[in-house]
Amino acid sequence: MHFKFAWRYFKAKKSTNAINIISWVTAGVIAFSTMCQVLVLSVFNGFEDLVKSLYSNFYADVKVVAASGKTITLNQAQLDQIHQMPGVSGVSLNVEEKALLQNGEQQTVVLLKGVDENYDQVSGVPQNMYRGQFNLGNIDDPHLVLGSGIENALGIHSERNLFPLTIFLPKKTNNERAAPLASLSEGNAFTAGSFAIQQDFDNKFVITNIAFMKQQMNYQSGDLKTMDIALANPDNS
């Protein structure tokens, strides 16, 4: 009934021509505003998917941190239990800490992330290299993979840098009265490449191997900062 009543004004004769025009203009405005809303919502939906994909390229599906204190201690039996949990497709152990990187007179503060050999199972960083190769070296010959923003801040090309960078890290010590310099470790590492994912990551993170970081920070073999877990079906978890 309402539709028939409204339709009568769209087909009105000349005596009601003003009402006819107003009806068509109103319908056009409503249709235009509706299309604009659909367009805006579609754009925001696309941005949401883009942001999710960028973050999923760096962060794992699940990140485990200490409930209290700074470190997690796990033994091999506990790690095996985690690997065998249903739905778990990958586990990577890591240590994260703020560090100072120095290249000659240029220096910058970064978040240094030491990871194990399973890191490519939980993160997309190895697939998003900007320069060089994703090569983290070992405890005796450590290599660094820089975010592209860190690379620019230090003024280097990571894949062909001939000189090592100096790394300053806080060191775990049992002596609370130790001199400040005694609580810092100093190491050197060559750069192997750089990654480019998203500005927040590119300007903050540097990745190396976990064994080198544990050695520099005086960590025990079972000490960790975080643990990254990849799920077989993250959308269904």
182-207 core/surface letters (b: 16 or more CB in 10 A; e: else): eeebebebbbbbbbebbeebbeebbb
Quote the pLDDT of residue 44. Answer: 54
Phi (first) and psi of residue 168, to 5 degrees? -110, 125
Quote the pLDDT of residue 184. Answer: 87
The amino acid at residue 203 is N
Name the region of 134 (left: φ>0; alpha: ψ -120 to 50; beta: rest): beta
Q: Give the pLDDT of the chain (237 residues) as one tens digit per residue.
A: 555 555 555 555 555 556 666 666 777 777 777 777 776 666 555 545 545 555 567 788 888 888 887 888 888 888 888 888 888 888 999 999 999 999 988 999 999 999 999 999 998 899 889 999 999 999 999 999 999 999 999 989 888 888 999 999 988 766 655 566 667 899 999 999 999 988 889 999 999 999 999 999 988 888 888 899 888 887 665
Quote the pLDDT of residue 177. Answer: 59
Quote the pLDDT of residue 101. Answer: 95
The pTM (predicted TM-score) of the whole model is 0.74
Q: How distant, in Å, are the alpha carbons of 147, 159, 182, 185, 187 from that of 178?
A: 33, 38, 6, 13, 20
Quote the pLDDT of residue 9. Answer: 54
Quote the pLDDT of residue 78. Answer: 86
Domain coordinates in residue numbering, the chain? 2-55, 61-236
The residue length of the chain stands at 237
Q: How far apart are CA 164 and CA 141, in angstroms?
A: 11
Which stretches of 90-195 are DSSP H helices? 148-154
Q: How far apart are CA 22 and CA 30, in angstroms?
A: 12
